[in-house]
Amino acid sequence: MTPTPRPIRTIPDAFVHETTEREGAAGAAWLAELPGIVAELLDRWSCVPDGEVTHGAVGLIVPVRQRGDGVEGEAAVLKVSFPHPGNVHEPDAFAVWRGRGAVRLYERDDERFAMLLERASSVTLAESRAGAGAGTANGNRTANGNGSGSGSGNGSGTANDTGTGSRVSDALATVAGRLSRRLAVPAPPGLPRLADQAATWEAELRRDDAELAHSLPRRTVDAALATVHELARTQPDLMLHGDFHARNILRAEREPWLAVDPKGCAGDPAYDGGSLLKARVPALLDAPDLGRAVHRLLDVYAEAAELDRERVRRWSQLHAVQAAFWGRRHGFRLTRARSAHADAGTDPLVRAAEHLAQLLTD
């Protein structure tokens, strides 16, 4: 007998606030429909809620168990995301990987922007000090939706580059690099190609350089533009995560670490290395020598991912310049959350992005 699903009791207040603040009336209307959407999907996919409802930046995460014929089944999560073009190809990426380095996709409803996914723990690579897998996950909460979107300035832990902190950073880069290597499989037709964004990236860099009061030297901006011309316009047809950072890598049981929240796109795998490094920088700011810490992370990641170190450096430099300009124009969400009157000119994350961009300029 198929179980009668219990309705979700509450949607987390933080998710309601963030969604309405970001999406306005459209977000409020979607939130009003969300309990009904979840109930419909639980019924259709024969699931019952099995834990605390959580959320990522754009998706509600409902821990569930699949059941049928009165037998309790596999632990999973129901993820329902706000309908947005950036979320369209997430299930496509999971379908390509089929559990290779990422959580498995069990069911999908593209019209609802919903998926039934393998459940992983809530322990992210950013939070773990277990490094390359020597420890065990602490807790069984689930968080298959930790991504916080582009331009958000995600921190990745608090370890500095001394002693244990350096070893943790090396282990993090090793885990991420090996995972990136596994995800870089041939991409099918129909997925967005990063190469198609090259012209937009160039136009945005030139516009931001001209319009914003920034502190980046001419040679730093020129280096980013050169990367667009020389690397971005022609790229391999390999799967990318697209938002690859340590908070989108979760502890799991089937494999030590699994990726979540992919954008689902194709291009140069070294691009994902730039995403990882950009998000890692806040954790390295207390390092005695930031330049040394950054280049060490590049070395370890590139070796583990079996990528050309110079390509990873150049993509990382482009990411840093884009992040610095984003912070100047829009402000980082983390800084805005701390102060409604934050000044981009004094924002430590903007300054960190600009410093990183210069450190990575050859």
Per-residue model confidence as pLDDT tens digits over 221-275: 999 999 999 999 999 999 999 999 999 999 999 999 999 999 999 999 999 999 9
> How many whole angstroms separate alpha carbon 244 and alpha carbon 246?
7
> How many whole angstroms separate alpha carbon 354 and alpha carbon 45?
47
Is 217 contained in some domain? yes
Is 96 contained in some domain? no
Is 225 contained in some domain? yes
DSSP 287: S
Q: What predicted TM-score, i.e. pTM, was given to this entire model?
A: 0.86
Cα pseudo-dihedral 295, 301, 302, 304, rounded to 10:
150
Structure tokens at 287: 């390092």
Q: What is the pLDDT of residue 343?
A: 57
Low pLDDT (below 50) residues in the chain: 1-5, 130-142, 146-161, 339
Q: Indicate the SS3 state at residue 59.
A: strand
Query: For the segment 69-102, what is each residue's pLDDT rounded down to a tens digit?
Result: 655 688 999 999 999 888 999 999 999 999 999 9
Is 114 contained in some domain? no
Got the DSSP string for 136-171? Answer: --------S-----TTS--------SSTHHHHHHHH
Is 281 contained in some domain? yes
Nearby residues of 5 by Cβ (< 8 Å), 6 or more positions away: 39, 42, 43, 47, 48, 49
Domain encompassing residue 307: 193-240+268-359
Domain count, the chain: 1
Whose CA is closest to 356, among 285, 271, 269? Answer: 285
Got the DSSP string for 207-274? Answer: HHHHHS-----HHHHHHHHHHIIIIISS---EEE-SS--GGGEEE-SSSSEEE-----EEE-THHHHH
- Give residue 74's Cα distance to chain centre: 26
How open is the CA angle 329-335-338, to the nearest 5 degrees? 140
Is 73 contained in some domain? no
- Residue with token string 């959350």: 337
Burial (Cβ within 10 Å: 0-12, 13-18, ≥19) of residue 303: middle
Cα pseudo-dihedral 85, 114, 62, 71, rounded to 10:
-160
Structure tokens at 167: 């070893």
> How many whole angstroms separate alpha carbon 107 and alpha carbon 86?
19
Is 204 contained in some domain? yes
Is 207 contained in some domain? yes
Q: Which residues of 118-136 are buried (b: 16+ CB within 10 A; e: fewer)?
A: bbbbbbbbbbbebbeeeee
Q: What is the pLDDT of residue 134?
A: 36
Mean pLDDT of the chain: 87
Q: Indicate the SS3 state at residue 126.
A: coil
DSSP 196: G
